A = this chain, B = another copy of it.
Amino acid sequence: MKDYIIHNEWKIIEKGFHKEDNRITESLLSIGNGRTGQRANFEEKYTGDTLRGSYVAGVYYPDKTRVGWWKNGYPEYFAKILNATNWIGINVAVDGEELDLNTAKINLFYRDLDMKSGLLTRHFVAELSSGKQIEVHSRRFLSIADQEIGAIRYSVKALNFSGEISFQPYIDGDVVNEDSNYDENFWISIAQKIGCCSGFVCVETKKTAFQVCTGMSFKTKLNKQIIDIEAKGIEKEKYVGAEMKLQVKQGDEVCIEKYAAIVSTLNHSKNKLQEATEKTLRRASDKGFDKLFADQEKAWAKRWETSDIRIEGDVAAQQGIRFNIFQLNQTYLGDDERLNIGPKGFTGEKYGGVTYWDTEAYCLPFTLGTAPQMVSKNLLLYRYKHLQKAIENAEKLGFTDGAALFPMVTINGEECHNEWEITFEEIHRNGAIAYAIYNYINYTGDKEYLAPYGFEMLLALSRFWSQRVNWSDEKKKFVMLGVTGPNEYENNVNNNFHTSYMAVWTLKYTLEAIEFLKKEHPILFEDMVKKHKLKELNETSRWKKIIKDMYFPYDFNRKIYLQQDGFLDKELIPVSQLKPEDRPINQKWSWDRILRSPYIKQADTLQSIYWFEDDFDRESIERHFDFYEPLTVHESSLSCCIHSILAASIGRQEKAYEMYLRTARLDLDDYNNDTCDGLHITSMGGTWMAFVKGFGGMRVKNGKLNFNPFIPDGWNSYSFRLNFRESHLEFIINQSDFRLVNHSKTDIELVVHGKQYHLPAKKELTIKN
Chain A residues near B (Cβ < 8 Å): 65-69, 71-73, 396-398, 418-421, 424-425, 470-475, 479, 481-482, 491-494, 565-566, 568-572, 586-596
Given known A397-B592, A420-B592, A482-B595, contact A474–B568 (CB-CB < 8 A): yes
The 9 closest A-B pairs by CB, nearest first: A73-B590, A424-B592, A474-B568, A71-B591, A397-B590, A472-B569, A67-B68, A482-B596, A398-B593
Kindly state the separation between the CA atoms of A586 and B71 in the bound complex, as whole angstroms: 9
- 20 further A-B contacts with Cβ under 8 Å, apart from A67-B68, A72-B589, A398-B589, are A68-B418, A71-B591, A72-B586, A72-B590, A73-B591, A396-B590, A397-B590, A397-B592, A420-B591, A421-B492, A424-B590, A424-B592, A425-B592, A472-B569, A474-B568, A475-B569, A482-B596, A492-B492, A492-B493, A565-B566
Minimum CB–CB distance for A316 against chain B, Å: 33
A470 and B69 contacting across the interface, CB-CB below 8 Å: no
CB-defined contacts of A569 to chain B, threshold 8 Å: 470, 472, 474-475, 479, 481, 494
Chain B residues closer than 8 Å to A494, beta-carbon distance: 566, 569
Would you call B419 and A68 a contact (CB within 8 A)?
A: yes
A494 — nearest CB in chain B belongs to which residue?
Answer: B566
Q: Which residues on the B side are within 8 Å of A594 (C-beta)?
A: 72
Interface of A is mostly: loop
Q: How far is the CA of A407 from the CA of B67 in the complex (A)?
A: 21
Which residues of chain B have C-beta atoms less than 8 A from A72's C-beta? 586-591, 594
CB distance from A105 to the nearest CB of B (A): 39
> A591–B424 contact, CB under 8 A?
yes
Task: Indicate if the CB atoms of B425 and A482 lie closer than 8 Å.
Answer: no
Closest to A473 in B: B568
Partner of A73, one of B67, B565, B592: B592
Chain B: CB-nearest residue to A477? B569
Q: How far is the CB of A566 from chain B (nearest CB, A)?
A: 5
In the bound assembly, the distance between CA atoms of A66 and B67 in angstroms comes to 7
**Max count, chain B CB within 10 A of own CB: residue among A65, A471, A590:** A590
Some 19 contacts from A to B, beta carbons below 8 A apart, are A66-B67, A66-B68, A68-B419, A71-B590, A71-B591, A72-B588, A72-B589, A73-B591, A398-B589, A398-B590, A421-B491, A424-B591, A424-B592, A472-B570, A473-B568, A474-B569, A479-B569, A481-B566, A491-B492
Which of the listed residues A396, A424, A493, A569 has the most CB atoms from chain B within 10 Å of its own CB? A569
Number of copies: 2
Q: How far apart are the CA atoms of A594 and B591 in the complex, in Å?
A: 22
In the complex, A135→B568 CA distance in Å? 75
- Residues from chain B with a CB closer than 8 A to the CB of A493 are 492
- CA separation between A67 and B594, bound complex, in Å? 19
User: In the bound complex, do residue B592 and residue A470 qualify as a contact, i.e. CB atoms below 8 Å apart?
Assistant: no
**Which among A68, A397, A419 has the greatest number of chain B C-beta atoms within 10 A?**
A68
Minimum CB distance partner of A585 in chain B: B72
**In the complex, what residues of B have CB within 8 A of residue A589's CB?**
72, 398
Query: In the complex, which residues of chain B have a beta carbon less than 8 angstroms from the beta carbon of A471?
Result: 571
Residue of B nearest to A572 (CB): B473
Q: Which of B482, B492, B568, B587 contacts A472 (CB 8 A)?
A: B568
Residues of chain B within 8 A (CB-CB) of A591 are 71-73, 420, 424
**A596 and B492 alpha carbons, distance in the complex (Å):** 9
A754: min CB distance to chain B, Å? 39
Q: In the bound complex, what is the Cα–Cα distance between A419 and B418 (angstroms)?
A: 13
Residues of chain B within 8 A of A572, CB atoms compared: 473
A470 to B569, CA, bound (A): 8
| CB of A397 to closest CB in B, whole Å | 4
Docked-complex contact A570 and B470, CB < 8 angstroms? yes
Task: State the Cβ distance, A259 to closest chain B Cβ, in Å.
Answer: 42
- A415 → chain B closest CB, angstroms: 11
Considering only CB atoms, which chain B residue lies closest to A422 in the complex? B69
Interchain CA distance A615-B68 in the complex, whole Å:
40
Closest to A72 in B: B590
In angstroms, how far is the closest chain B Cβ from the Cβ of A21? 24
B586 touches A492 (CB 8 A): no
Q: Which residue of B lies closest to A562 (CB)?
A: B474
Asked whether, in the complex, the Cβ of A482 is within 8 Å of the Cβ of B73, the reply is no
How far is the CB of A324 from the nearest CB of chain B, in Å? 28
Give the interface centre of A69, A396, A425, A566 by most chain B CB atoms within 10 Å: A566
Closest beta carbon of chain B to A740's beta carbon, Å: 47
Q: Looking at the assembled complex, report how far the CB atom of A406 sits from the nearest CB atom of chain B, in whole angstroms.
A: 15
CB contacts (< 8 Å) of A71 on chain B: these are: 590-591
Residue of B nearest to A555 (CB): B474
| Docked complex Cα distance between A200 and B58 (Å) | 58
Residue of B nearest to A586 (CB): B72
The residue of chain B having its C-beta at the shortest distance from the C-beta of A78 within the complex is B68
Contacts of A587 in B (CB 8 A): 72
The answer, among B473, B474, B588, B595, for a CB contact under 8 Å with A492, is B595
Contact residues in B for A470 (Cβ distance below 8 Å): 569-571, 596
Report the bound CA distance from A419 to B493 in whole Å: 18
Question: In whole Å, how far is A701's beta carbon from the nearest beta carbon of chain B?
Answer: 37
The distance in angstroms between the C-alpha atoms of A568 and B493, with both chains bound, is 14
Chain B residues contacting A568 (CB-CB under 8 Å) are: 472-474
Of the candidates B474, B566, B570, B593, the one whose C-beta lies within 8 Å of that of A397 is B593
With a cutoff of 8 Å between Cβ atoms, the chain B residues found around residue A421 in the complex are: 421, 491-492
Task: With CB as the reference atom, state the residue of chain B lying closest to A590.
Answer: B73
Roughly how many angstroms separate A572 CA and B472 CA in the complex, as a whole number? 9
Task: Quote the shortest CB–CB distance from A673 to chain B (angstroms).
Answer: 15
Give the distance in Å from the alpha carbon of A565 to the alpha carbon of B475 in the complex: 13
Contacts of A73 in B (CB 8 A): 590-592
For A571, the chain B residues whose CB sits under 8 A away are: 470-471
A592, B73: Cα distance in complex, Å: 9
